[in-house]
Amino acid sequence: MQIEPIAYIYTDFPEKFGIPRQAGRVPELFGKIIFEPKFRKPEALRGITEFSHLWLIFDFSESHRKIWSPTVRPPRLGGNQRVGVFASRSPFRPNPIGLSCVKLEAVQNQTELLVSGIDLLNHTPILDIKPYLPYTDSQTKAFGSYGEMHKNDKLFVHFPENLLVQIPEQKQKALLACLADDPRPSYQHDPNRIYYLQYANFELQFQVSGKNLYVIDLQKNPDCNDTNQ
């Protein structure tokens, strides 16, 4: 079966590190979906604003592998326990197809979708967009296992004011929420380690000690185009 991108999403994450582990964890994170020319038709979106949420089906374009592994090690289990790939949302799957529920904020310029609660890399190819239908998609009695773990563990973020003000104001809250959500792999706990996170054309450096995250430096990437078209 041959499929092609219908659109690309533009987000503040040029790299995987720092992206929330699931959609909706950071409601303040926005993305803009721009359709490919052949699918850029206002009528293809007719009625879409009557839905509050959308499904994005996308290509895990940075996770293509020639060989598939039947098991994966979810970060949430500490990275050292293996579960079946079909019991995980890992990007490394036989068909590298991803699924995210996002909030529809607005239709812009008749053909662009502004969405929030994203968990996607900048320029991720979108394969399909569907309305979220609460009566069939919201399984209020469903239960999951390790996906639930740590979901309320938050770090206390220390972000020096002189550094924070360099980030555009409308992007500060989302960044703080991503940091509080603890972007580290679960198995890394070295307080001396310096982590580098790319966000909205900035490179951030931070360290984590216990429940505290300390931002120690911030640099603007001079040679980078603005990813938020």
- Total of chain residues touching a second copy, rule CB under 8 A: 67
Under a CB-based contact definition with an 8 Å cutoff, are residues 132 and 54 in contact? Answer: yes
Site string for a second copy, 2-31 (x = CB under 8 A): xxxxx---------------xxxx------
Q: Which amino acid is at 118?
A: I
Residue 138: other Cβ atoms inside 10 A: 11
| Neighbour order of strands in the sheet with 212-220 | 156-158, 212-220, 202-209, 195-199
Near a second copy by CB under 8 A: residue from 120, 121, 129, 218 = 129
**Are the beta carbons of 45 and 122 closer than 8 angstroms?**
no
Q: 77 with 46: CB under 8 angstroms?
A: no
Task: State the pairing for strand pair 53-59/97-108.
Answer: antiparallel
Restricting to residues 78-117, name those near a second copy by CB under 8 A.
Answer: 82-89, 93-95, 97, 99, 101
> Segment 170-199, which members bind a second copy (CB under 8 A)?
none
**Phi–psi pair at 89, nearest 5 degrees:** -105, 20
Which C-beta is closer to a second copy: that of 14 or that of 74? 74
> Which of 28, 105, 112, 128 forms a contact with a second copy (CB under 8 A)?
128
In terms of CB distance, is 66 or 192 closer to a second copy? Answer: 66
Q: Which is nearer to a second copy, 125 or 228 (CB)?
A: 125
Nearer to a second copy, 64 or 220 (CB): 64
Q: CA torsion, points 107, 109, 113, 114, in degrees to nearest 10?
A: -80
To a second copy, the closest distance from the beta carbon of 26 in angstroms equals 12
Distance of CA 45 to the CA centre of its chain: 23
Candidate list 28, 92, 127, 207; residue touching a second copy; CB under 8 A: 127
Instruction: Print the binding letters for residues 46-75 with a second copy: x by CB under 8 A, - otherwise.
Output: xxx-xxxxxx-x-x--------x-xx----
The piece of 121-129, 166-174, 187-195, 201-209 that touches a second copy (CB under 8 A) is 121-129
**135 near a second copy (CB under 8 A):** yes
Residues ≥6 apart with Cβ < 8 Å to 227? 10, 11, 12, 14, 122, 123, 200, 201
Tell me, what DSSP letter sits at residue 172? H
User: What is the closest distance, in whole angstroms, from the C-beta atom of residue 205 to a second copy in the complex?
Assistant: 29
Least Å distance, CB 139 to a second copy, is 5
